[in-house]
Structure 1
Amino acid sequence: MTDAPLAARLRDLAGPTIFSEMTALAQAAGAVNLGQGFPDGDGPAALLEAAHAAIDQGLNQYPPATGLPVLRKAIAARRAADHGVEYDPETEVVVTAGATEAIAAALIGLCEPGDEVVVFDPLYDSYGACLAMAEVRRVPVLLEYDGTRFSFDPDALRAAVGPRTRLILLNTPHNPSGKVFDARELALIAELCVEHDLIAVVDEVYEYLVYDGLRHLTPAALPGMRERTLSISSAGKTFSATGWKVGWACGPAPLVTAVRTVKQYLTFGTGTPFQAAVAHGLTACMDWVEELRAGLESRRDLLVAGLRTGGITTYPSSATYFLQMDARSFGTGDGDALCRELVRSAGVVAIPSVALYDDKKAGRHLVRLAFCKDEELLAGAAGRLAAQARAAGAGQVARPARDLDGRARTSKT
């Protein structure tokens, strides 16, 4: 056996993810974990009771490879009610082991080795792994902060599409930036997909966790897009049940068949009683989801307000669990080094956003914080970070910056 049995295309992925690494540091130091995006609280009581009932009723064996019929029907009904896009639950919906499996199965099932996939940079870390497993080349389009929001250069997106492009992989609402792609941006993506006959694989797991009066728009609802869009979502973020790993993909039958073909040889099926409970959640617990959304928006604002007391620059987050802050507020442009220092000096763990960037220079100064935590914990962590920034900021030059509400303020860099 060779010294490096791991396939060459996966060697860059060896070792723990940045999320596992930082969580281990949090546990070892007894630090507050604002790194990994898991909520402190459980989902709605009715959802949990439905899971118990499903177990008691004997739903403990393999589900169908495509998922329990009751869940596929609930997913299709939810997409129709929310977006006006109708799917046949028999042929156009497949249940997966979380959204991560849906994305992996889509890329493996829809791409040939050597194909190109357009992605938006930064990108969630599993995307790179899935693309490597599919043996395709990713072509990144940078999301840059323009003073009010993260956006991309339309010409850069057009230039990213070439003769080998197979699909566009889109995450909206977007992790880690908290960006919600707007109608104008989605229209351009749709235009390019139609013009070049591309597939759109859209990760929409934060579809219900959108703030500031904005609304999530699914590309599948745009003209010419239903027949070429695979919409992926999950119960984990919607119902604060990340450990259940129940996700799904909706789309035209040929795309869903590609996902099912791969996933039946990965997990085949997952969490039968949890699938039954999620079906109940999608039909009877959506008021709770709205309460969750409002609560997360309030926690985001609480965290931002606490960080501001230390002169810390934050970036607008209109969705997801996450907020980005600027490492330069602490007297350093190195977000990775700052995150490791904060474990020791502030007892707070964050994620260096650079780990999620192809363009390391663009993401070097950014740090991702999760606000899906208890309010008291958030307030305490914000206070520690603010104190650390004040201690590091003595004598530094003040500069104008923009915070969550877009208003100019003074911070230290």
Structure 2
Amino acid sequence: MPVSRLKDIPGIGVDRMGDLADAAADPELLRLENLDTDLRPPEAALAASRRALEDDAANSYLPFLGQWPLRKAAVARVARLSGVDYGGPEGCVITAGGLSGILNSLLALLEPGDRVLLPAPIYAGLINRVRLAGGEPVFVPTHPTPQGWRLDRDALRGLRGQGIRVVLAMSPAMPSGCWLDAEDWAALAELCRSEDAWLLYDAAMERLLFDGRAYLHPASLPGMAERTVTVGSVSKEFRMIGWRVGWVVGPGRILPDIGLVGIHNVVCQVGIAMAAAAAALTCADDGVAAAVAEWQARRDCLLEEFSELPAIPPAGGWSLLLDCAPLGLSGAEASRRLFETAKVAATPMAGWGPGSERYLRFVFANEPVTRLAGIGRRVRDALA
């Protein structure tokens, strides 16, 4: 039997599908199961990585909370996007990837049993980190529409007075690509203010928005600067998954506690990676606009290929969901059929929020349009 903190924590499915796809070693297999990308990181980041290999200062535990140039760059980024200045490098701690920052923040914000609100479906790793930190996940639904996913604001209003301690939100969300518009953020901010709750903002994909959608940082809303903790990373926007560098930026009343958790959790970050992250955050051309254009083209290709299937359009991010229930299948059964008969690796979403077992995720960040052409026929034949 697992220890109690693990009893309600299943796997995320991605690891199993990734292992199956690796073992197949089939070049014809479409790798749509994992959030990898074939687009290169910024050249400035690659150059900084090479220099850091020869820099003795990069081969160090210190500073425990992250190198000062990177902390300064992360605070400046949040200030630029939100209009909120958290006071220089002291307003930031660096983490070993964004999800390490999420867990460290939850451990610093939650008492055992505290309730954490998450729009769902949402990444299982976020749900399970809430549980690891001793919190209770509470879900507000987002609903699929022909135009994309929409937050259920009526359900959100019904959660007032329910003892929400933290709102954990991501936009665009993973895996759905749900984009929170200005009214959604206003509703979430109102809940935070009325409940005296923290907003833990997962900013991993915040600028990966399609079709000209507007960006809004929730710390810019009235009364939210002092209760918003922003967690970002270089993994998605900057295509630097393997560097494992993230940051937490927020009010001075909570940052020392988050830093203390980090020191006693992962201890420190990847030394040779922090200079590269700082270079990515400060370079003249970070490549984000070009990457977003390419990922939008891949999304558009998939939506065209899936025009006869119940696929929900994502507003941004790296993936889209197919609703397998109208096909009479679960996401797990659809995934099995696609892998065995169509040479398509896609991950079922069981455990990614209430009702998520009906969905199958397709990641379009790692396969070019030329490889995606014809996938619609393969999927329809396999799932017929």
TM-score range, shorter chain: over 0.9
Match of 1:91 in 2: 90
Does residue 386 of the first structure (1) align with residue 372 of the second (2)? no
Q: Which residue of 2 aligns with 1:313?
A: 310
Q: CA deviation at 1:387?
A: 3.1
What one-letter code is carried by the residue in structure 2 that aligns with 1:251?
G
Q: Secondary structure at the match of 2:165?
A: strand
Equivalent position SS for 1:176 = coil
1:137-193 residue CA offsets vs partner (Å, 9 max, x unmatched)? 111111111442312322311222435321111111111110110000101111111
* Residue identity matched to 1:166: R
Q: Which runs of 5 or more residues in structure 1 are unaligned?
A: 394-413
Moved more, 30-39 or 176-185: 30-39
- Identify the residue that residue 363 of structure 2 maps to in structure 1: 370
Bigger Cα Rg: 1
Question: C-alpha offsets along residues 351-387 of structure 1, whole Å, 9 cap, x if unaligned?
Answer: 1133312x22xx3432111111231xx5434524423
User: Over residues 257-311 of structure 1, what are the superposed CA-to-partner deviations in whole Å (9 max), with x where a residue is unaligned?
Assistant: 2211111101121111211111111111544121111111112112222333xx2
In structure 2, the partner of 1:52 is: 50
Assess if the C-alpha contact under 8 Å between 2:172 and 2:206 holds in 1: yes
Match of 1:257 in 2: 256
Q: Which residue of 1 aligns with 2:140?
A: 141
Q: What RMSD, in angstroms, separates the aligned Cα atoms of the two structures?
A: 1.9
TM-score (normalizing by structure 1): 0.87
SS in 1 for 2:89: coil
Unaligned segments of structure 2, at least 5 residues: none
AA in 2 matched with 1:302: C
**In structure 1, what is the Cα distance between the partners aligned to 2:286 and 2:104?**
32
Match of 1:64 in 2: 63
Q: Distance in 2 between matches of 1:17 and 1:392?
A: 23
Matched letter for residue 216 of structure 1 = Y
Q: Find the counterpart in structure 2 of residue 40 from structure 1.
A: 38
In 1, Cα distance between equivalents of 2:91 and 2:212: 31
Mapped to 1, the partners of 2:80 and 2:162 lie a distance apart of 37
- Mapped to 2, the partners of 1:384 and 1:212 lie a distance apart of 23
Q: Taking CA–CA contacts closer than 8 Å with sequence separation of 6 or more, which of the two structures ends up with the larger relative contact order?
A: 2
1:227 corresponding residue in structure 2:
226
1:392 & 1:353 partners in 2: Cα distance? 17
5 Å matches for 1:168-317?
Answer: 168-308=167-307, 311-317=308-314
Partner of 2:158: 159
What's the TM-score, normalizing by structure 2?
0.93
Distance 1:388 1:159, change over 3 A: closer
**How many residues align structurally?**
380
